[in-house]
Amino acid sequence: MRRLHCEVLVVGSGPGGSTSAWMYAESGKDVMLVEEGRNLAVNSSEDHSLQQMDEKWRSGGVTAALGSPKVTYIEGKCVGGASESNAGLYHPPLSDGLEAWARDFQIADFGADELAPHLAAVVQEIGVSKRPFAYSPASQALACGSEAMGWKWTEIERFWRYSQRDDGGWDGHRRSMSETLIPKAIAAGCRLQSDTRVDRLLRRGGRAVGAIAFVRREDGSEEKIQIDFERVVVCAGAVQTPRLLRKSGWIHNIGNSLTMNPMVRIVARFPERVNVPSFGVPVVQIEEFKPTMTIGCSYSAPPHLAMWLEGAADDVRRKLEDWHNLAVFYVKVCGRGRGSVRTMPIFGDSLVRYKTHADDFAHLGEGLFRLASALFAAGATEVHSPLPGMPHLKESSQAERLRRILTPQNSSLSAIHLHSTVPMGENPDVCAADSHGRLFGAENVTVNDSSLLPTSPGVNPQGTILAIARRNILRILDA
């Protein structure tokens, strides 16, 4: 068996792993960044296309947490993790939420003030910007509806850069990890090993001494290798990190407290055009009800619209004839439910279970009611029901129906923000890693990704994950 050596092994190259690899490499350590997925250009496929699902998402984007109802979710799987295909919306963490984490999970030296310099550094390093041109008409409609209802709304900044073309138009560039921190890490000496899945860590007493990994060859076969290291940083995301740790024999408080932000979508029709071919990612969110619920606009290209419009081909074609007048909107709640991550016996896959909390159904219903009210206030002529077979709403007085529409039996929920499977802090009852991500019961294992967030942050989490990852590595290097 081939053996590789490094001082620091970083498993997973999403936002947490890229930050860790870059900072360790900058400090002069010999770092290897191992990623299960492929090394692809950031624009190798169109956003949310079939090709992107196959290339950049685990299991082609078809993964589900079992429960009643099941919740479908997406995990990134490529160099850069989910940052390569996400919307890049940057939302700073909410101060109250950070204080609650510090208090309830007993996280030392933690809070809005402590995290602020790390957030600033992340924003500076990666680049965050507002859209330099008008929002898409659907975003404008949402903003207008929100105003009519007297609710605050906001434009969310993105990990994105814009450049102006000669013809005056704008090009957007995703500031994903493969475009930002990974090249920096490589320039500082980090070795990137893609197409390589770490299967388990080898333990000797309280230390991890190596990793067994499988390298995928061009012909589809796999080579088994061993990687020896002095320290390992596990950043495989909120599902794969607990799975790898549990498989390697660490189980205390690991994989028991998964949180996510369940989401539902609806389609609305307007008398005027709200959808254009270059619709992109809508950046407007209704601010008023955060963190309990976030209301926004979604990708609305015709194949996405079609998914939410019911019927056979002729029906859908008819409905799509005026696709310019249709857009998809979402309600996402800060989930109060809890889930677990285990390894499925016999099959060996991750087994994710999630119990949606009754409050989440209530909040989703309330959110749908508010969303529909705002859309009608913005001039929508029709709001489709989120449930198949139910009549569409034609006026705002009917929006009330959405309040209690969702039940565990009929809901179709999805999630893209998963966290909390290795919560950090000093509270021994609930935490699996200390205040800086060092795994309890392991001398040289650190976790540094979305798994550490003690509960759901209620807002787009990537900025928080990056800032916490930076804070943790700086602290560990200092020590």
Partner 1 sequence: MRVDFIVQGLVEGLLVSSGGEAVIPVEQTTSILVRKVDHMPRFMRFGMYVLLVLFDLYGVLRNGRRFRSQSVEQKRKRIEEWSRSPLGPCRDMVEFFRKMGTFVCWSLLEEE
Q: Which is nearer to ligand FAD, 17 or 425 (CB)?
A: 17
Q: Which is nearer to ligand FAD, 383 or 467 (CB)?
A: 467
Residue 478, burial from CB neighbour count under 10 angstroms (0-12, 13-18, 19+): exposed
Residue 465 within binding range of ligand FAD, rule CB under 6 A: yes
> Rounded to the nearest whole angstrom, what is the least distance from the CB of residue 252 to ligand FAD in the complex?
20
Instruction: List interacting residues with partner 1 (CB under 8 A).
Output: 49-50, 54, 59-60, 62-64, 68-70, 301-304, 306-307, 309, 311-317, 320, 344, 346-351, 388, 409, 412
Integer angstrom CA distances of residue 24 from 117, 232, 233, 297, 318: 19, 11, 10, 38, 56
Could you give the count of Cα atoms lying within 13 Å of 309 in the half-sphere of its Cβ? 25
What is the DSSP pairing of strand 191-193 with strand 31-34?
parallel
Q: Which is nearer to partner 1, 59 or 427 (CB)?
A: 59
Q: Which is nearer to ligand FAD, 227 or 372 (CB)?
A: 227
Site string for ligand FAD, 230-269 (x = CB under 6 A): -----xxxx-x---x-------------------------
Q: Which residues contact 308 (CB under 8 A, 6 or more apart)?
A: 265, 266, 267, 328, 384
Integer angstrom CA distances of residue 107 from 98, 101, 239, 430: 10, 7, 22, 12
The residue whose two tokens read 């919307």 is: 87
Of 132, 39, 27, 51, nearest to 81 (Cα)?
39
Rounded to 5 degrees, what angle do the CA atoms 314, 330, 236 make? Answer: 110
Residue 470 within binding range of ligand FAD, rule CB under 6 A: no
Q: Which residues contact 285 (CB under 8 A, 6 or more apart)?
A: 153, 154, 156, 294, 295, 296
Q: What's the rounded Cα separation, in Å, for the pair 83 and 357?
A: 28
77 binds, among partner 1, ligand FAD, none (CB under 5 to 8 A by kind): ligand FAD
> Rounded to the nearest whole angstrom, what is the least distance from the CB of residue 387 to partner 1 in the complex?
11
68 binds, among partner 1, ligand FAD, none (CB under 5 to 8 A by kind): partner 1
Task: Select from 35-43, 286-294, 350-358, 377-385 the region that touches ligand FAD (CB under 6 A).
Answer: 35-43
17 binds, among partner 1, ligand FAD, none (CB under 5 to 8 A by kind): ligand FAD
70 binds, among partner 1, ligand FAD, none (CB under 5 to 8 A by kind): partner 1
Q: Which is nearer to ligand FAD, 398 or 412 (CB)?
A: 412
Spatial contact of 252 and 432, defined as CB atoms under 8 Å apart: yes
> Rounded to the nearest whole angstrom, what is the least distance from the CB of residue 266 to partner 1 in the complex?
14
Site string for ligand FAD, 5-34 (x = CB under 6 A): ------xxxxxxx----------------x
Could you give the count of Cα atoms lying within 13 Å of 332 in the half-sphere of its Cβ? 24
Residue 350 within binding range of ligand FAD, rule CB under 6 A: no
User: Of 4, 6, 88, 123, which lies in the binding site for ligand FAD, with binding defined by CB under 6 A?
Assistant: 88
For the chain, the maximum distance between any two Cα atoms, rounded to a whole number of angstroms, is 69
Q: Which is nearer to ligand FAD, 256 or 460 (CB)?
A: 460
User: Of 174, 175, 231, 417, which lies in the binding site for ligand FAD, with binding defined by CB under 6 A?
Assistant: 417
> Rounded to the nearest whole angstrom, what is the least distance from the CB of residue 239 to partner 1 in the complex?
10
Q: How many residues bind ligand FAD (CB under 6 A)?
A: 40
Reading the block at residue 1, the tokens are 């068996």
Integer angstrom CA distances of residue 349 from 150, 344, 352: 47, 5, 9
Q: What's the rounded Cα separation, in Å, for the pair 400 and 267?
A: 17
Task: Select from 62-70, 313-321, 396-404, 461-469 the region that touches ligand FAD (CB under 6 A).
Answer: 461-469
Residue 280 within binding range of ligand FAD, rule CB under 6 A: no
Burial track 208-220 (b if 16+ CB lie within 10 A, e otherwise)? bebbbbbbbeeee
Of 419, 424, 420, 325, nearest to 380 (Cα)?
325
Please report, as ranges, the residues that interact with ligand FAD according to CB under 6 A. 11-17, 34-37, 74-78, 81-83, 85-89, 197-198, 235-238, 240, 244, 416-417, 449-450, 460-462, 465
